[in-house]
Amino acid sequence: AFLILIGLNIEICFMFAVAGVAFAKMLPADKESRILGLPNRMVMAVFGSVFCVFVECLLNAVDALTWDYSWWSIRAPWLIFLIGYLPFFVVSFWVHDMKTMKGKLTAIGVIYTVDIGSLIVFGAILGWI
């Protein structure tokens, strides 16, 4: 039963699978360039996060996506922005900008290790998932 993850749905799968690639493709080649005087990576991370929160709000409005917690809802879109999407975009752009494939694979390996470890601890052992 722990393989059925709470919150995993088609929107989440596509949003994180496609959005990371799509927004990385939109990054300026020069990572030092600025947009409106701000670092382009941060501007793009904020824009991507706002876009994804907007999509979630639209999907929720038509009952295509439900939120099960009162604190994770249309009443607190800033929370979805701040801990739902912004870290994802910041890390994905950081990995994108790494100079070596070894560095990229190491970063992704650490992320997978934390995810798998969390599934084991919180799912299989504690039964929270």
pLDDT tens, residue by residue, 48-64: 999 999 998 998 899 88
State the pTM of this model: 0.82
Is the CB of residue 49 less than 8 Å from the CB of residue 89? yes
Instruction: Encode 9-39: b = buried (16+ Cβ within 10 Å), e = exposed.
Output: eebeeebeeebbeebbeebeeeeeeeeeeee
* pLDDT at residue 127, as a whole number: 83
Question: Tell me, what's the pLDDT at 2?
Answer: 46
